[in-house]
Amino acid sequence: MMHECLVGGHFSPEQTVGYRLAIGSIVLLMACIFCKKSFPKTLTPWMHFFIYAIIGNIVPFLLISRGQMHITSGMTGLLMAFVPLVTMVLAHIFLPNNALNRFKIIGFVLGISGVLFILAPSINDGGNTLFGILLILGAAASYASHGVVVEKLPKYDPIVAATCSSILACLLAFLIWPDMVHINLDGVPLKTSLNMLALGILPTGLGALIFFNLINNAGATFLSNMNYVIPVYAFTLGAIMLGEPVLWQNISALVLIVFGIFVSRRKVKG
């Protein structure tokens, strides 16, 4: 989320999506070549990778890039804590051995309460809008769906899955927004270009590789709970690097959401 803010003033949301995917795809392709991985030769895996590209890359990346134009990075990080709560519900419906219990239900209610708690004051503080909040919540729902879909479908080699889905997402982005081919870096500061490079290498390229590896070994529900660190990261760096205000309403909502995730992780005895 921080990188989107740091490149948003010089690149459009569509450019941010396309360029980060292009950079990430190059990184992952190099990893495939280095590890001597081969791509699938049948259609079915590529259909699955295409689904991953849509719900795991194109949709959330675009929603976040657009949403960041209307809300602060701290608010974005807070709302991304919504991912494990949505994952909890979807896993109950679509994944075996992930049924809701009383702790998960209580945790979900607490998390939703945290999100609702920040809507009104956040809209009125001048730095956030309801439109931006809804875009980020849509991205969170897309990420949650992605995790559940990846766990539900057949497992693939993490490097191959990450590379193929990223390449498909990159090609799709340039087909949807062909103007991105005309890159003009005139007037773009070196720092902004480096931020875009970091956005492509770290959360896009390496992030995809880590994502598929964890899904294969730990599952969507466990992975989604890693999102609880995002609000802390976003709030801290947003305040330090961008001078964003940290409101008491946001802190209270953060406590509710994280506590909700903690409660949802408790096991039912007996």
Quick: pLDDT tens for 165-197: 999 999 999 999 888 877 777 778 888 888 889
Question: Taking residues 44-71, what's their average pLDDT?
Answer: 94
Q: What percent of the chain is modeled with pLDDT above 70?
A: 83
User: Hey, what are 125's tokens?
Assistant: 């503080």
Q: Are 215 and 56 in contact (CB under 8 A)?
A: no
* Predicted pLDDT at 30: 95
The secondary structure of 185-197 as a DSSP string is -TT--HHHHHHHH
Distance in angstroms (rounded) separating the CA atoms of residues 249 and 257: 12
Low-confidence winner among 59-63, 174-178, 229-233 (lowest mean pLDDT): 229-233
- Mind listing the pLDDT tens digit for each residue in 106-143? 888 887 787 777 665 655 565 778 888 899 999 999 99
Tokens for 95, please give them: 């994944």
The predicted model scores a pTM of: 0.81
205-231 as b/e: b if 16+ CB within 10 A: bbebbebbbbbeeebbbebbbebbebb
pLDDT at 2 over 50: no
In this predicted structure, what is the pLDDT of residue 109? 84
Cα 217 from Cα 223, distance rounded (Å):
10
C-alpha 132/C-alpha 67 separation (Å) is: 4
Round the average pLDDT of the chain to a whole number and report it.
83
**54-63, 151-160, 257-266: segment of lowest average pLDDT:** 257-266
Assess contact for 256 and 117: CB atoms under 8 A. yes
Rounded Cα–Cα distance for residues 259 and 270 (Å): 23
In this structure, are residues 75 and 239 in contact, taking their beta carbons and an 8 Å threshold? no
